[in-house]
Structure 1
């Protein structure tokens, strides 16, 4: 029975880190961000309008306290005011690759 908590921890960490382990495509991530995120966030340099109280993707990319696994977990289980996007693991990896490209 002692192995059950360890196994559960491994499963949770795999689910959280799984998207980060996939190779992401930053160009595809940019397209996803423009489609799903640009109504609230500034997702790229060409965008001129977004909500004032949400971080830009560039500012998210520069934050040292936001690890890739934490961002992946946030995209896996978004919470209000962020809508539930139901992104696939590959889509999450793509968005993360795009965010990384903005550093």
Structure 2
């Protein structure tokens, strides 16, 4: 039973560390937007800028790193809480066997 607990703990810790790795994060790429305008009259203005917001790569990288940091913190807290639960059950089972 102890081996199973260690394997589960190692699996959860490994999954958290490998899924939230900043090295695996891909940079956000902006998609080129093309727009065709049907000229039904001469009064239709032609857009010179693509519609939508322009994303700054520095801000997206900062946001991605912050998100990764938050995921690592949440994963670490989950592992700590799991360890507390396993330890508590172990202590409870020892008391039950002693009685």
Query: Does the alignment reach a TM-score above 0.5?
Result: no
The TM-score normalised by the length of structure 2 is: 0.30
Q: Higher helix share goes to which structure?
A: 2
Larger Rg: 2
Q: What is the TM-score when the length of structure 1 is the normalising length?
A: 0.30
